[in-house]
């Protein structure tokens, strides 16, 4: 365990979670950054490199002190007891460049994670595994409980840790605001029971798809996230659902996460730490002529409507109430034709330099439900989509004409 290098003051011992935090399943979000290591030998990485990471982690936890605590589920708060985060070092008997050539298949990625499915009351809120390769390269995995973070909060922590490791803690520019419960308290009238998480029986796999956004823009006018989401959704509809069931479904739904910071009339600051997002549900009936252009128009209109809806929210209570209502609607979905997207674009995931250079690749892990995580490419305007599908669905998905035309895998 790595603990904060200075004790958390007594008056900060209890961190009450906010209303939107309470809507999250107690699982972990994961990001894995792969580094070539700037020519450092494995022995150096295992000693000085790991030591740098461990010491800087202890320093940055003094700022992000709830992450070193433990979740008290019955009372909906984090006991900021400085029990620490799990920190594991593993050696990998392979070279990073060979792994890259063989592609990041889900089985190998899971080996780098120290992955947990849920948070017990005595379990760490953060699990970190540092994997050192024979060549001196490194894969740094960070897994954090969804009870505490959305993607912006996750990125804030990793960026602050990287800055502390590369430079020092005084260079951390953005300090987290932990006043979630003061502004968005867990009111009893907004409490909903989370239904049991449904585990799918099929075997799920994950693969990376590199999308050529410029080619898509030559044919359709929309944001790159909308364009890539539309290609994926259309492929699942026409090449997966149609083939599996010998017909198109009568209707389908698409879910997109939306960061709510600065989206409301009463804006939430960028340094707000906690969950400040919603899952926007976009539904549509299906016709035989429902193609890529129709999907672009549907998603573009659905996201625009969501932006408009939240821009009119003027109070913190109404913001929480709207998010709770959308979450209840999501739980009522049957899920058979549900397609979910999480966009990590714009969060600077390729800027995380711990002192070993910027990452060569960034990924997440396979999940047992349909999910597409959209990430910026390392350079240029493209998007990498890390897509989790059942093995049967993935085989059909890869044969779709739009996937072969605009994507590479």
Q: Are residues 276 and 356 in the same domain?
A: yes
Residue for token digits 């400085």?
A: 82
pLDDT of 115 > 60? The answer is no
For 66-75, 87-96, 168-177, 191-200, which range has the lowest pLDDT when averaged over its residues? 191-200
Collect all residues with Cβ–Cβ distance below 8 Å to 334 and sequence separation of at least 6: none
Average pLDDT over residues 77-100: 88
Residue range(s) defining the domain that contains residue 382: 204-408
Predicted local confidence at residue 116, as pLDDT: 53
* C-alpha distance from residue 334 to each of 123, 168, 209, 337, 396 (Å): 32, 49, 27, 8, 22
What's the total number of domains in the chain? 2
Share of the chain above pLDDT 70, in %: 93
Q: For residues 343 and 390, state if they share a domain.
A: yes
User: What is the DSSP secondary-structure string of 297-353?
Assistant: HHHHHHHHHHHHHHHT--SHHHHHHHHHHHHHHHHHS--TTEEEEEE-TTS-GGG--
**Arithmetic mean of pLDDT, 102-122:** 57
Domain stops at, among 120, 153, 188: 188
Q: Is residue 113 domain-shared with residue 241, that is, in the same domain? A: no
Half-sphere exposure of 405 (CA within 13 A, CB side): 14
pLDDT tier at 98, thresholds 50, 70, 90: low
Q: In this structure, are 148 and 295 located in the same domain?
A: no
288 and 156 fall within a common domain: no
248 lies in the same domain as 137? no
- Coil vs helix vs strand at 379: coil
Its pTM stands at 0.92
CATH code: domain of residue 34 = 3.30.559.10
Cα separation, 80 vs 68, whole angstroms: 7
Q: What does the pLDDT read at residue 250?
A: 85
340 neighbors 362 (Cβ within 8 angstroms): no
Q: How confident is the model at residue 335 (pLDDT cuts 50, 70, 90)?
A: low
165, 233: one domain: no
pLDDT of residue 110: 60
Task: State which of 164, 188, 212 marks the end of a domain.
Answer: 188
261, 181: one domain: no
111 vs 89, 105, 408, CA distance in Å? 12, 11, 25
Beta-carbon contacts of residue 37 (< 8 Å; ≥ 6 apart): 45, 49, 96, 133, 135, 136, 137, 138, 356, 357
Q: Does position 232 have pLDDT exceeding 80, yes or no?
A: yes
CA distance 230 to 284: 13
Judge if 217 and 328 occupy the same domain. yes
What are the φ/ψ torsions at residue 139 (nearest 5 degrees)? -120, 120
pLDDT score of 102: 55
* Mean of pLDDT values over 337-345: 87
Short-list 271, 267, 282, 298, CA closest to 340: 282
Alpha-carbon Rg for the chain, nearest whole angstrom, is: 21
Query: Residue 194: its pLDDT value, please?
Result: 82
Look at residue 4 and tell me if it is in a domain: no
251 and 368 together in one domain: yes
Decide if 327 is inside a domain: yes
Arithmetic mean of pLDDT over the chain: 90
| 164, part of any domain | yes
**pLDDT score at 324:** 95
Backbone angles phi, psi at 221, to 5 degrees: -100, 110
Question: Which string of DSSP letters, residue by residue, matches 259-284?
Answer: E-TTTSSSPPPTTB-S--EEEEEEEE
């Amino acid at each position: 365990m790595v603990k904060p290098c200075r004790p958390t003051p007594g008056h900060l011992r209890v961190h009450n979670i906010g209303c939107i935090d309470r809507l999250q399943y107690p699982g972990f979000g994961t990001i894995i950054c792969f580094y070539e290591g700037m020519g450092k030998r494995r022995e150096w990485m295992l000693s000085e490199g790991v030591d740098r990471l461990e010491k800087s982690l202890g320093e940055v936890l003094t700022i992000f002190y709830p992450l070193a605590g433990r979740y008290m589920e019955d009372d909906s708060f984090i006991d900021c007891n400085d029990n620490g985060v799990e920190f594991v070092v593993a050696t990998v008997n392979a070279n990073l460049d060979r792994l890259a050539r063989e592609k990041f298949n889900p089985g190998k990625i899971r080996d780098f994670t120290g992955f947990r499915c849920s948070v017990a009351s005595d379990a760490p809120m953060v699990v970190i595994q540092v994997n050192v390769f024979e060549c001196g390269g490194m894969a740094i995995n960070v897994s954090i409980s969804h009870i505490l973070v959305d993607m912006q909060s996750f990125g804030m922590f990793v960026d602050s840790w990287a800055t502390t490791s590369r430079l020092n803690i005084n260079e951390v520019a953005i300090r987290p605001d932990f006043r979630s419960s003061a502004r968005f308290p867990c009111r009893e009238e907004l409490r909903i029971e989370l239904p049991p998480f449904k585990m799918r029986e099929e075997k799920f796999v994950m693969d990376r798809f590199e999308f050529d956004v410029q080619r898509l823009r030559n044919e359709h006018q929309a944001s790159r996230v909308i364009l890539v989401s539309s290609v994926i959704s259309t492929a699942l509809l026409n090449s997966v659902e149609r083939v599996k069931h010998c017909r198109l479904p009568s209707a389908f739904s698409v879910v997109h996460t939306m960061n709510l910071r600065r989206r409301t009339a009463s804006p939430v600051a960028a340094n707000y730490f906690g969950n400040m997002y919603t899952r926007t549900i976009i539904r549509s009936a299906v016709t035989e002529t429902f193609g890529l252009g129709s999907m672009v128009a549907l998603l573009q209109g659905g996201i625009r409507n969501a932006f408009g809806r939240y821009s009119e929210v003027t109070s913190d209570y109404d913001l929480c109430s709207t998010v709770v209502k959308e979450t209840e609607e999501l739980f009522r979905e049957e899920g058979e034709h549900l397609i979910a997207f999480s966009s990590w674009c714009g969060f600077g995931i390729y800027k995380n330099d711990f002192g070993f250079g910027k990452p060569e690749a960034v990924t997440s892990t396979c999940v047992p439900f349909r999910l597409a995580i959209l990430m910026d490419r390392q350079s240029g305007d493209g998007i990498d989509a890390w897509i989790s599908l059942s093995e049967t669905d993935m085989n059909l998905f890869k044969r779709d004409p739009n996937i072969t035309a605009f994507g590479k895998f």
